[in-house]
Structure 1
Amino acid sequence: MVVLVVKKGDDPQFLFETSINASVDDAVKACAQVHNGRLKVQRICYEAEELAKYGTMMPPEIVELLPEQAAELGLKDMWADRCAPHGWVKNLDPIGRRCGRQPPTKMQQVLTSAVENSREIISKKHCSAGSVLTQPDIARALNELKGAVAIVYPMGLPPHDPIRQELENREDLKGTQASLEVLDPATTVMWFCGKQMLSGNLLSVHLGKNDKCKVIVKLCRRGDGAPGREPVMSEEDRKQLMLHAYRRQEELKKLEQDDDDEYLDTTWADSGSLKRHFQGLDSITWRPK
């Protein structure tokens, strides 16, 4: 099986395993789905942390309004009482997105533990460990978050809460930064060694016949142009090169500071040293009485 190191910029995101005889279209579609799944888990993890701090999301018409403004307009969060966890404490959201009904400490720990476990499943550090990421791994991370939310909020979340929308695949990312990161499998292309893998080809056409290799590929939208090439040297090699250049520069500075006539005090520069050697006067020193 060939291992694809899927990168975004110069940073590896995940490893994907496939066959060298698989089609480019299937590989692109599968990698795009894993990529989008990682983004979904990351978005839910962020919202779950906010949920543990400030409670459920307020309705869209009340979001970011001051309590006085909402009361003046006659708007009220009808879901706050219905979805409030038992033993909640008041903790107002400083940006006015959530209702401010924070779950008790033990329930917060349930959510934060699920967030940590889910982030561990999709962590980029698995690239250096050689562990591949699959759709079942993404599903396991989502189930971890879904189960934690169900424990803390057995009555369910409001239909407008982003966590519920994400878990039900109803999220609307239009106009957000997250929408720019999501890849549409139908318009996604894969690049290898500065060349685009052509639709309809097998991976073996671009990667060769070796089914036991690891290659670096990059995903981008069709029409965005070629992604940046891989750096000639790694970050660690670059640091070592800069350190060597700095040490060399310091050595040259010291040499420039030395007196040019200093060599005259050395033995090899003494024109009379050979004569004194044959006369046996090498070891004679003159001291004042």
Structure 2
Amino acid sequence: MVKLHIKKAEESLFLYETTVQILIDDMMKDVAAIYNGRLKVERLCWEVESLSKHGITLPPNMQGLTDDQITDLKLKDEWEDKCIPSGGAVFKKDDIGRRNGHAPNDQMAEVLTKTIAEAKAKISNKNVASNMCVTQATVQDALDILRGAVTIVYPMGLPPHDPIRAEFENEEDLSGSQASLDVIEEPQAVLWWAGKELQRGKKLMDFIGKNEKNKNSCKNTKARGRSTCS
């Protein structure tokens, strides 16, 4: 099996294993799904960490307001009493006013923290040094364990406006965010090897040869949705 070392600039991302017989179209779909899936796992890990520290996300019309402003505007979070973490909540105020401050207790927070570490390890760029490849199944496994941990801590679920729920339901809105700039949609993707474009409709072997023992370094760039391989 041939391996591609996917990079972004000089940063290692993951190893991708395939065969020289694969169609470029299929390879690009797979690589894009893994690449974007890793970004999704990273976003979720950040949000779940925030959840463990400060509880569920406030409704959009309450975020960033002071307690006095919320009182003056007579606003109420209707999800506060519906989404209580297992074992009860511990108040830990969110200074930026994004989450409601009713955090899980230490035991439940530890469940989330350990799962975050496990999910990150599955898609970590450190796996490159260990010669471990990442697949769509790897990404899905990371997503599944994050979902499982959140369900354990919040068995009643999360409010519809919580970004964690949106990510799990594939309804995340990244518009206007830095995260949206990192995503590379598959139709925009172009792969290059040794200065040559890996053209759709052809096979990988048409470019790198029939040797299945090849290992190629690939630089993934955002510019015009292109990836450069060498």
**TM-score when normalising by structure 2:** 0.95
The alignment yields a C-alpha RMSD, in angstroms, of 1.6
Q: Distance in 2 between matches of 1:44 and 1:225?
A: 25
Partner residue of 1:38? 38
Instruction: Please state how far the C-alpha of 1:187 moved relative to its aligned partner.
Output: 0.9
Mean Cα deviation higher: 170-179 or 215-224: 215-224
String of CA shifts for 1:63-119, please: whole Å, max 9, x gaps: 111121122222211111110223211111011100000111100000001000000
Q: Distance in 1 between matches of 2:137 and 2:172?
A: 21
CA gap of 1:222–1:53, structure 2 versus 1, over 3 A, is: closer
The DSSP-based 3-state class of the residue aligned with 1:223 is helix
CA gap of 1:201–1:221, structure 2 versus 1, over 3 A, is: farther
| Structure with higher helix content | 1
CA gap of 1:224–1:163, structure 2 versus 1, over 3 A, is: closer
Q: Distance in 2 between matches of 1:137 and 1:225?
A: 24
Q: Distance in 1 between matches of 2:201 and 2:170?
A: 30
Larger Rg: 1
Partner residue of 1:283? none
Give the structure, 1 or 2, with the largest relative contact order (CA under 8 Å, sep 6 or more).
2
Partner residue of 2:99? 98
- Gapped regions of structure 2 (runs ≥ 5): none
Partner residue of 2:21? 21
Q: Could you tell me whether the CA contact under 8 Å between 1:4 and 1:217 is conserved in 2?
A: yes
The DSSP-based 3-state class of the residue aligned with 2:174 is coil
| Structure with higher strand content | 2
Q: Distance in 2 between matches of 1:110 and 1:75?
A: 32
String of CA shifts for 1:126-163, please: whole Å, max 9, x gaps: 10111110111111111110110011001111111111
Q: Distance in 1 between matches of 2:18 and 2:219?
A: 15
**TM-score when normalising by structure 1:** 0.76
Instruction: Please state how far the C-alpha of 1:225 moved relative to its aligned partner.
Output: 6.7
1:137 partner letter: T
1:104 partner letter: N
String of CA shifts for 1:165-184, please: whole Å, max 9, x gaps: 10110100000000001110
The DSSP-based 3-state class of the residue aligned with 1:82 is coil
Partner residue of 1:54? 54
**Matches for 1:97-136 after TM superposition, within 5 Å:** 97-136=98-137
Q: Distance in 2 between matches of 1:225 and 1:154?
A: 42
Instruction: Please state how far the C-alpha of 1:209 moved relative to its aligned partner.
Output: 1.5
Q: Could you tell me whether the CA contact under 8 Å between 1:188 and 1:220 is conserved in 2?
A: no
Instruction: Please state how far the C-alpha of 1:224 moved relative to its aligned partner.
Output: 5.7
1:61 partner letter: N
Q: Could you tell me whether the CA contact under 8 Å between 2:220 and 2:226 is conserved in 1?
A: no
CA gap of 1:215–1:134, structure 2 versus 1, over 3 A, is: same
- Gapped regions of structure 1 (runs ≥ 5): 231-289
Q: Does residue 1:69 correspond to 2:58, yes or no?
A: no
**Matches for 1:1-289 after TM superposition, within 5 Å:** 1-85=1-85, 86-220=87-221, 223=224
Q: Name the % identity.
A: 44
CA gap of 1:178–1:184, structure 2 versus 1, over 3 A, is: same
Q: Distance in 1 between matches of 2:20 and 2:124?
A: 26
CA gap of 1:47–1:88, structure 2 versus 1, over 3 A, is: same
Q: Count the aligned residue pairs.
A: 229
